[in-house]
Amino acid sequence: MSIRLTSRERVRMVLDGKTPDLVPFNFWMDRDAMADYDKQWGHDFRLTHYGVDVIEAFATLPFWSSMEMKTINDGKTVWQTEPLVEDISEALDLPLPDPTDPALYADVAAKREKNPDKAIFAMMIAPLDILQPLRLAENLYMDLYDNADVIHQILGRVKPLLIETARRVCEMDIDVLYLAGDICGRDGALVSPTHLCEFLFEYLKEVIEIAHTAGKKVFYHTDGYVLNILDLFIEYGFDGINPVEPRYNDPAEFVKRTNGKLMLYGGLDNCNIIPNGSVKDVEEHVRSQFRALGHSGRLIFSTHDIPSHCPLQNLDCMVNAIRNCCY
């Protein structure tokens, strides 16, 4: 009789390049839906009700907390409406957070203590997303051209904090260091590969090295079409990527371009099939993605945010279909 693996054992097998019994999984939804299901099934409902294999914990430095941010809240997401500074040089002397503050690591510690048999992906924010609140994306991307020296000065101050945070997180009992920062839209990278290397990946080299030295894998999250920059993630030593949305990214092309060099944490369509298709559509989608992506065992199923209007039967069907993806 085969022995069923724990969630953490299942994920660890994927991370170690081995084939587990089942495909591990996680998923995300619009925050209002998640809050409603938490009330119904307990916090965190994905864990308490659906038994996901991955828990994301947060070690996010509170950059620019001394500044007042103007926002609107649509009930699902909080949106920043104005940049924090009129000129990027105003950020040169802004106070920075303290990476030695134990409170920054409390979420990681608490989730590990409560969930010893689950995989913990500890999330840190990546450099371009750290800068975005200062100027918002449109202005920031122009600053990369017009004020590159100032951007490098700011990132030069930020870099040691990221390194120290990564060092402390990777000393904890985590499974993946998970860096997050959207750098792609539906048509591809939001800035050139040259700028991505200069202002993002070069500032993460030591973070990645620290994680690998500690025996941790490193994943990166970005929305959008990523197929044409996958070589950058491979070049800089990332082990996995999320979510590779199928509405933009062909799964067969992902497999071809990565050639087993990147694990996938994602792969499921959150915007069309899962919320809007029939139960049969959802089931076939999961099976199809498993056939395309799962044969190498380098897959952890997940989604980006599934909309609030997704019928519960579709959510149930998605999870049941994933649980039937056996090796």
Q: Which tokens belong to 180?
A: 């997050």
What pLDDT does residue 193 have?
Answer: 97
Residue (of 176, 181, 230, 236) closest to 204 by Cα position: 236
Asked if residue 189 lies in contact with residue 183, where contact means CB atoms within 8 angstroms, the answer is: yes
Q: What is the SS3 assignment for 92? A: helix
In the CATH hierarchy, which fold is given to the domain comprising 7-323?
TIM Barrel (3.20.20)
What pLDDT does residue 201 have?
Answer: 98
What pLDDT does residue 19 have?
Answer: 94
Residue in this structure with the two tokens 């030591």, named with its chain if needed: 206
Dihedral angle, C-alpha 266, 123, 306, 278, nearest 10 °: 30
What pLDDT does residue 214 have?
Answer: 98
**What are the tens digits of pLDDT across the range 157-168?**
999 999 999 999
Question: What is the phi/psi pair of residue 83, to 5°?
Answer: -65, 155
Sign of CA dihedral 218, 222, 225, 228: negative
What pLDDT does residue 68 have?
Answer: 94
Question: What is the phi/psi pair of residue 314, to 5°?
Answer: -70, -40
Low-confidence ranges of the chain (pLDDT < 70): 1-3
Q: Does the model's pTM come out above 0.85?
A: yes
What pLDDT does residue 96 have?
Answer: 98
